[in-house]
Structure 1
Amino acid sequence: MEINELLSQMAADPWGDVTPSVYETARLVAKAPWLGGHAERVRFLERTQHADGTWGGPEEYALVPTLSAVAALPHNERGRRALDRLLGRPLPDTVAVELIVPALCRELGIAADTGVLDRIARKPLPAKLWHTLEIFGGDRPEVVPVDGAVACSPAATATWLGRRTPGPSLNYLEAAQARHNGPVPAGTPVPLFERAWVLAALKNAGIPTATIDLHITAEGASAGPGLAPDADDTATALYALGATDTSVLDRYRSGRHFSCFPDERTPSTSTNAHVLQARGHDPELEEWIRDTQNRDGSWHDKWHASPYYATACCVTALQGDDKAADWAESTQRPDGSWGRWEGTYEETAYAIQILVRGNRNGPATQRGCEFLENWGDREHPPLWHDKDLYAPTRIIRAEGISALHSARCAVVA
């Protein structure tokens, strides 16, 4: 019943279920007060500020949302003081962080090296940077909205539009803000991303589903309309569809591994794991994935804050890894959960998948399953990387369903 409900909700929703972003919402407060829901966005920022004055995730993940929120709420002294503590620390590996941070610092009058940002701004923006148009300005003839949206970004779209002008872009912005009563995600709509990941998660557990159309062009698949095609969405969509011809992925090859985009700053372990799943056999790629494994048995990745996500992706693609299973067993929390900062439903699901793939079906797996079953309707902490952290709720639900199904099947076997 839960699977059918999840798939029905997903099929009926062309946007995808993604949590609001502090960074993106604050950009609208600062740059688009003319958009409906402005007062609600201000209240969202006020109530999501932490006791220490920051916004957003723990550790390095507080910097970008706090910069954006302070720019939107310039008289927030607690936020200003928090920035003094955050600046100078290592940056998170989130989307365009090396450009967003100096752009926001300049806006706030904080000294920062803007050399790279300025050099990029003097040229036509490549399509992969349209998602962050808000840091470059809207007078860009090369930028073309799709269905009113600029690269699935409310902030980028508001920057391109400039003022309250009736038409497709204003319609997109009003619809995006209405979904969460003011606040907005950093990337929306992202229907292919949600559908491909949900179907892939269920497929990993051997759960049959009806075929859902996932649009793949000669250049690959995009998470949502107007976003540049990338290797991760392409590979996951191909795997979810059971495609036998994966040659579209060849354009992303970069030596032994695959790049998400051209001129990629850092490679992604999870993307390469998804490519290996889609291709089924690639000795060089498999060797590259194994070479990126950490000494403790885990993997890390650029698209997610938690090592449990990257490790689950790699272990699934490699069809098991004993060192990773040992790591998962050794890091379980006393309540049966797993998590980087706290025990979460999502990370516990990944850890169970790691253990099941390693044929570890003992007490640790069973206690993890009990934790998942007792989670209830609690919110899922944002752990996925965009401009700041977000949670793709339906994908997380699918990973939990997959983990429980896999564990039960392993016990029966």
Structure 2
Amino acid sequence: MSVDDLLMPGTAQQPPDLGRRFRERAAGAVLADTARKAGPAAIDVAGEARELVAGLLADPWGQVSPSAYETGRLVSLAPWLTGHAERVEFLLAAQRPDGTWGGPGGYALVPTLGATEALIAELRRHGPRPGRHEVAGAARRGLDALRGRPDGSGIPGFPGLSASGPRDLPDMPAIELIVPALTAMINGHLEAMGEWEPLTLPAGMDGAKLSAIRARLTSGAAVPQKVLHALETVGEAAAGAPGVVPTPIPDLAETGAGETAGAVGASPAAGAAWLGAGGAGDTGSPVRRYLEAVAGRYGGPVPCATPVAAFERGWALSWLRRAGVPVAVPEELVTGLDAAIGPGGSAAGPGLPPDADTTSVALYALALLRVPREPDSLWEYETETHFCTWQGEEGASPTVNAHVLDAFGEYARLAAGASGVVRSRGVPSGAEPSPAVRSGAVTSEAAPSGAVSRYTAAVGKLSAWLRGRQRADGSWSDRWHASPYYATACCALALEDYGGEESADAVRAAVRWLLDTQREDGSWGHRAGTAEETAYALQTLLLTAPAGRPEPVRPAAGASGRADAAGDRRRETAVARGYRSLLASVTGHGEPVEAPALWHDKDLYFPAAIVRAAILGALHLARRALSQPAPHALSRIPSRGMYRTPFRVPSATSATAPLSPPVTQPSSTAPAAMSPVSSSVSTSPSSASSSMAGRRISDNGR
């Protein structure tokens, strides 16, 4: 029986709309968020940041969006798992009218393959039953999209599977394994159902690498840890593979007292593949407990990777701190971030390999939180030209290298004694150590002899490599995010802070690109204006504003510190327009009303806490700038607790709409905002610049 046979009229009563509940839930959420949109004075940035930071500690999973690809894998591999019907409903609700799932263009390929295979497997598993018409119709639309439109018109940006080439496909993790695996699975279904038009692989792609991994697993040998995140691609060879050892995840609230969950590659799909068909009866398995916990947490659908607390905490805290948002950080959060960094670095989640990106962001966040440690674990990722995300990486990431530059640059700055902040035992003269240092939770020791020069040399190497990767228009692109605005923010800010005079032209080019690409409504976005991308643009414009601090406060005056007056005026107007646009696109909690998935994993995803932190940071910076009387509007834009020189605020008539009333923020010279509990580290700008404890490595090499 083919897919079309299940669509024949008269064979059964027309079923209810199985995806309706998820569509109504999504529509209701949008309406609720729209109703909560705030006026300019309604967002308490500091208060929302406190709530966000508290959530980072309270939620050990991390806040990432569910994936059509990953959810489809559980529909196919684990129909016995709690929430199966809800996962099918989610897939039906998430399909677009053109038959695809997921992001635009080539981003649709992996989720469309995954969802289509899952729905065909569901049809074959149950045969004729109520609801099959909708499932069969969605599967047929998915197949048509994968083959290309019957009329030959094609889907904009997505020519179909066989017509796709290397330029049509994004650089996504494991795409070279996922696409051949799912194509073969769908073709197997079609042959069994009597359809004789198989799908063909995109040009330049084959299954050679997938076959090699399957052979290795079948032999009982171990595979690289990064492969485990996509273990579901190897099929039956994954089930109980002796070379795969699940990673324990203790103390999850969703599991019973004393019970330990276990993840395979931090991936629900990989865990289901490792359990295999026997997972239905193995209710006591730690991996089964992990899957039940994830499915219960999301109500059926699942994300590509969870938990990802280390990843989420490092990024969220660094966005807040870099922007100078005043918020107290609990000691437990600081020490947890520190403890996650082992000799080989930090992993984004349990079962994932340590990587240079998560490690460098955590190290940078710790430095900004006044508990820096030597970033020596990052040397493992150094190549002749740059730093890799992990050993064996195919390709290179500008944002990973920008984050390493942040970590090395800030460490070298502190260790060299710039500003007189770092002293023996890490406590500056006349300043209190951070509570984490004071309590002994994080120790502080003097910088090791000769270490600074090595980091300083690496800063020059990284800066030159990043400048060489800049596009002709002034932007950067990256393999871990779909938007050039994210990549450009990461690279431009790192070069501004640590790239020296040699990076001045690169930073100015990035600013010009931002000014040239602002949309009519004041927003920024690669495909359409988004709150997330607007936040990145605003932070870049405000944190690279002309600087004129005295040398003792900052070694370099700022790579973009000599922009001409006309450029300053353009920047002023752009900031005012961008601020209004950002306010119009977020709720009263600083959350985007519309939240497209832009981050790269096996499927695109949306990390809610990280994006919210970037938005709150942008709002904080813009408010501090726009609430100052002219000509000192951007004179007090904090970066790592330091202040920038003025340039004039545009008059109301120079912008496209009247400026909103200024919002009073706490004085930048006021004492640090501390929680009533002493075990908190404040990220208030003033305290960070005057009392930064210099954590140093111990003799054991940590």
Structure-2-length-normalised TM-score: 0.58
1:363 paired to 2:409: no
Q: Which of 205, 208, 216 is the equivalent residue of 1:115?
A: 208
Higher mean Cα deviation, 112-121 or 148-157? Answer: 112-121
1:238 paired to 2:331: no
1:387 paired to 2:602: yes
1:169: Cα distance to partner?
Answer: 1.2
1:130: Cα distance to partner?
Answer: 0.3
Letter in 2 for 1:266: G
1:111: Cα distance to partner?
Answer: 3.5
1:357: Cα distance to partner?
Answer: 2.9
Letter in 2 for 1:204: R
1:396 paired to 2:611: yes
Matched residues in 1 for 2:481 and 2:287: separation? 30
Matched residues in 2 for 1:346 and 1:151: separation? 28
Matched residues in 2 for 1:314 and 1:350: separation? 11
Contact 1:41/1:182 (CA < 8 Å) preserved in 2? yes
Matched residues in 1 for 2:290 and 2:88: separation? 20
Q: Which of 304, 318, 324 is the equivalent residue of 2:495?
A: 318
Q: Which residue of 2 aligns with 1:175?
A: 293
What secondary structure sits across from 1:197 in the alignment?
helix
1:412: Cα distance to partner?
Answer: 4.8
Q: Which residue of 2 aligns with 1:47?
A: 93
Matched residues in 2 for 1:131 and 1:323: separation? 38
Matched residues in 2 for 1:383 and 1:61: separation? 10
Matched residues in 1 for 2:634 and 2:395: separation? 41
Q: Which residue of 2 aligns with 1:131?
A: 229
Matched residues in 1 for 2:292 and 2:536: separation? 36
Contact 2:531/2:582 (CA < 8 Å) preserved in 1? yes
Matched residues in 2 for 1:115 and 1:149: separation? 27
What secondary structure sits across from 1:200 in the alignment?
helix
Matched residues in 2 for 1:217 and 1:388: separation? 28
1:186 paired to 2:300: no
Matched residues in 2 for 1:120 and 1:156: separation? 14
Letter in 2 for 1:252: Y
1:402: Cα distance to partner?
Answer: 1.1
Deviations 1:171-217 (A, max 9, x none): 11111011221000000000000000001101211235425221100
Q: Which residue of 2 aligns with 1:339?
A: 525
Matched residues in 2 for 1:207 and 1:341: separation? 29
Q: Which residue of 2 aligns with 1:140?
A: 241
Matched residues in 2 for 1:161 and 1:19: separation? 24
1:407: Cα distance to partner?
Answer: 2.6
Q: Which residue of 2 aligns with 1:260?
A: 389
Deviations 1:366-399 (A, max 9, x none): 1111122122341311000000100000100000
1:253: Cα distance to partner?
Answer: 0.1
1:226 paired to 2:289: no
Q: Which of 450, 453, 478 is the equivalent residue of 1:301?
A: 478
Matched residues in 1 for 2:392 and 2:169: separation? 20
Q: Which residue of 1 aligns with 2:25?
A: none
Q: Which residue of 2 aligns with 1:102?
A: 180
Q: Which residue of 2 aligns with 1:202?
A: 320
1:68 paired to 2:278: no
1:16 paired to 2:62: yes
1:115: Cα distance to partner?
Answer: 1.4
1:298: Cα distance to partner?
Answer: 0.4
Matched residues in 1 for 2:345 and 2:265: separation? 16
1:121: Cα distance to partner?
Answer: 2.0
Contact 1:151/1:225 (CA < 8 Å) preserved in 2? yes
Deviations 1:237-256 (A, max 9, x none): 00001124111100000112
Deviations 1:26-55 (A, max 9, x none): 000011100000000000000110010000
1:346: Cα distance to partner?
Answer: 0.3
Contact 2:531/2:586 (CA < 8 Å) preserved in 1? no
Matched residues in 2 for 1:296 and 1:200: separation? 27
The alignment of Structure 1 onto Structure 2 pairs a total of residues equal to 413
Matched residues in 1 for 2:309 and 2:594: separation? 21
Unpaired runs of at least 5, structure 1: none
Higher mean Cα deviation, 183-192 or 74-83? Answer: 74-83
Runs of 4 or more off by more than 3 Å in structure 1?
none
Q: Which of 450, 461, 466 is the equivalent residue of 1:289?
A: 466
Matched residues in 2 for 1:108 and 1:125: separation? 26
Matched residues in 1 for 2:523 and 2:298: separation? 30
Higher mean Cα deviation, 316-325 or 295-304? Answer: 316-325
Contact 1:200/1:239 (CA < 8 Å) preserved in 2? yes
Q: Which residue of 2 aligns with 1:166?
A: 283
Matched residues in 2 for 1:172 and 1:372: separation? 38
Matched residues in 1 for 2:601 and 2:239: separation? 21
1:406: Cα distance to partner?
Answer: 2.2
Unpaired runs of at least 5, structure 2: 1-46, 121-135, 149-159, 188-198, 217-221, 249-261, 410-455, 498-506, 546-567, 588-592, 626-632, 636-702
Letter in 1 for 2:295: Q
Contact 2:493/2:540 (CA < 8 Å) preserved in 1? yes
Contact 1:150/1:156 (CA < 8 Å) preserved in 2? yes
Contact 1:48/1:55 (CA < 8 Å) preserved in 2? yes
Percent identical: 50
Contact 2:366/2:373 (CA < 8 Å) preserved in 1? no
Q: Which of 133, 137, 141 is the equivalent residue of 1:78?
A: 141
What secondary structure sits across from 2:306 in the alignment?
coil
1:233: Cα distance to partner?
Answer: 0.3
Q: Which residue of 2 aligns with 1:248?
A: 377
Q: Which residue of 2 aligns with 1:34?
A: 80
Contact 1:315/1:357 (CA < 8 Å) preserved in 2? no
What secondary structure sits across from 1:310 in the alignment?
helix
What secondary structure sits across from 1:295 in the alignment?
coil
Letter in 2 for 1:402: G
Contact 2:530/2:594 (CA < 8 Å) preserved in 1? no
Letter in 1 for 2:283: P
Matched residues in 1 for 2:291 and 2:263: separation? 8
Letter in 1 for 2:375: T
CA RMSD after TM alignment: 1.3
Matched residues in 2 for 1:71 and 1:285: separation? 43
Letter in 1 for 2:402: A
Matched residues in 2 for 1:353 and 1:142: separation? 45
1:65: Cα distance to partner?
Answer: 0.2
Contact 1:28/1:155 (CA < 8 Å) preserved in 2? yes
What secondary structure sits across from 2:263 in the alignment?
coil
Matched residues in 1 for 2:492 and 2:109: separation? 31
1:161: Cα distance to partner?
Answer: 1.2
Matched residues in 2 for 1:408 and 1:379: separation? 22
Letter in 1 for 2:382: R
